[in-house]
A and B are shown apart, each in its own frame.
Chain A
Amino acid sequence: NAGVTQTPKFQVLKTGQSMTLQCAQDMNHEYMSWYRQDPGMGLRLIHYSVGAGITDQGEVPNGYNVSRSTTEDFPLRLLSAAPSQTSVYFCASSSGRTALGTGELFFGEGSRLTVL
């Protein structure tokens, strides 16, 4: 059972570089989301999607773009990386079409990003 797969697991970038964090799920979940985890701040929602073609901003969307062309994939793009984006990023998916959070979130293993 693959569940939620994130790549890469580790990445080092220089300020101003761009990159894409990949997220794929094989559970046919409508809802997918991206979080960043920083010490003492828990997980903060960056962007989420309630289905293919539908995305919305979360709590900390600035500096990040997302798209949802298929049910399975939800990539997160950093167009011009900044040191403040150094963090651990988690992708998650859930059944259900809404972001009410009534379904269990299934998380990927995380991607550790360092921006120099």
Chain B
Amino acid sequence: AQSVTQPDIHITVSEGASLELRCNYSYGATPYLFWYVQSPGQGLQLLLKYFSGDTLVQGIKGFEAEFKRSQSSFNLRKPSVHWSDAAEYFCVRPKLSFGAGTTVTVRA
């Protein structure tokens, strides 16, 4: 079955530090992959998406993700975290299977 796995349930990072969230997918074919963010008490917003082509994808809020077929991964990164990045992050793929999510806490 198609699925995504987010190995990290919770990550704590200092403000200004870099952030990387892991996402692994199962299934052989080139997948469509998305990252969504859910800020506290809010709905979900699309950060970025990968369909094909360039494996480094730029998104909103300074986030980027890199698709690596050899590692079946689509990790999300941000070079310098802001306090407003504290949220839950979901890796998603068709048929819109959500990963369990990674909660990011930002400490001052």
Q: Check if B13 is an interface residue, CB within 8 A of chain A.
A: no
Residue A101 contacts which of B9, B44, B96 (CB distance < 8 angstroms)?
A: B96
How far is A46 from B7 in the complex, measured between Cα atoms in Å? 24
Residue A40 contacts which of B9, B36, B44, B90 (CB distance < 8 angstroms)?
A: B9
Which partner residue on chain A sits nearest B99 by CB separation?
A: A42
Interface size, chain A (Cβ < 8 Å): 21
Interface size, chain B (Cβ < 8 Å): 23
Is there contact, CB below 8 Å, between B96 and A42? no
The residues of B that contact A43 with a CB separation of less than 8 Å are 44, 90, 98
Residue B100 contacts which of A40, A45, A104, A105 (CB distance < 8 angstroms)?
A: A40
CB distance from B90 to the nearest CB of A (A): 6
Is there contact, CB below 8 Å, between B100 and A41? yes
Which partner residue on chain A sits nearest B43 by CB separation?
A: A107
Is there contact, CB below 8 Å, between B44 and A90? yes
The residues of A that contact B90 with a CB separation of less than 8 Å are 42-43
In B1-42, the 8 Å CB interface with A consists of 6, 9, 32, 34, 36, 42
Question: Which of B44, B95, B96 has the most chain A CB atoms inside 10 A of its CB?
Answer: B96
The residues of B that contact A107 with a CB separation of less than 8 Å are 43-45
The residues of A that contact B44 with a CB separation of less than 8 Å are 43, 90, 92, 105, 107
In B45-70, the 8 Å CB interface with A consists of 45-46, 49, 51
